[in-house]
A = this chain, B = another copy of it.
Amino acid sequence: MNQHASHKPDYEKELRRAGVRITRPRKVILRILTETDDHPDAMEIFQRASAVDSSISLSTVYRTMKLLEEMGAIHRHAFEGGRARFEQADGDHHDHLIDIDTGDVIEFHSNRIEELQEEIARALGYDIVHHRLELYGRKRRRT
Interface pair B137/A128, CB less than 8 Å apart: yes
Whole-angstrom distance from the CB of A113 to the nearest CB of chain B? Answer: 5
Copies in the complex: 2
Tell me the bound Cα distance from A122 to B97 in angstroms: 11
Interface flag for A18 (CB, 8 Å) = no
Chain B residue with minimal CB distance to A119?
B1
Interface flag for A110 (CB, 8 Å) = yes
Interface pair A138/B127, CB less than 8 Å apart: yes
Interface flag for A100 (CB, 8 Å) = yes
Interface flag for A17 (CB, 8 Å) = no
Interface pair A128/B136, CB less than 8 Å apart: yes
Interface pair B136/A132, CB less than 8 Å apart: yes
**Interface size class of chain A, counting residues whose CB lies under 8 Å from the partner chain:** 35 or more
Q: Give A87-143 interface residues, CB cut-off 8 Å to B.
A: 97, 99-100, 106, 108, 110, 112-113, 116-117, 119-140
Selected A-B contacts with CB under 8 Å, 19 pairs: A1-B116, A1-B119, A1-B120, A80-B132, A110-B120, A113-B117, A117-B135, A120-B135, A121-B135, A125-B139, A126-B135, A126-B137, A126-B139, A127-B138, A128-B136, A129-B137, A129-B138, A130-B136, A131-B134
